Structure 1
Amino acid sequence: MSEKKLTRSRDKVIAGVCGGIAEYLGWKKSHVRILYVLFSICSAAFPGIIVYLVLWFVMPEEGMP
């Protein structure tokens, strides 16, 4: 049984964070990106930017050991 790992996607718009989350959950990348933007706007944008930056540095890029 293969274990799925949360990684940043190589198919990226900025850093591949939303693409990686979409691949992990099996969702469409565009849907995750839209949901993330809506979440960020509803939370006054600042927390959404911080979360994205943290995930950018914490999530390994796809294909990295």
Structure 2
Amino acid sequence: MASPSRPRSATLSRPRNDRVIAGVCSGIARRFGLSPNVVRLIFVLSLLLPGPQFLIYIGGWILLPNE
């Protein structure tokens, strides 16, 4: 569930505030009603596994619109 201070967004976009690098993890967290820090932790832990995680993050940075 989304918290009252951070309403759940119907679209996926990168917020102008609450960014660490590009706001991709924060945008995903807002879209699904999660804490941005949890999504960031999951992303960092996923980097330990083989796969294109970094390229997906760069793609999100390029493709997701600003809020």
TM-score normalized by structure 1? 0.81
Please name the residue that 2:6 is paired with.
none
- Percent identity of the aligned residues? 40
RMSD of equivalent CA atoms: 1.4
Q: Structure 1 segments of 4 or more deviating over 6 A?
A: none
1:36 aligns to 2:67 (yes or no): no
Q: Partner of 1:49 in structure 2?
A: 54
Pairing 1:17–2:27 present: no
Aligned to 2:4: none
For residues 4 and 51 of structure 1, the distance between their equivalents in structure 2, rounded to whole angstroms, comes to: 21
Return the offset for 1:42. Answer: 1.4
TM-score (norm 2): 0.79
**Equivalent pairs, count:** 58
Unmatched 5+ residue regions in structure 1? none
Q: Which runs of 5+ in 2 are unaligned?
A: 1-8
The one-character-per-residue Cα deviations of 1:26-57 (angstroms, maximum 9, x if unpaired) are: 0000000000111122126xx11100000100
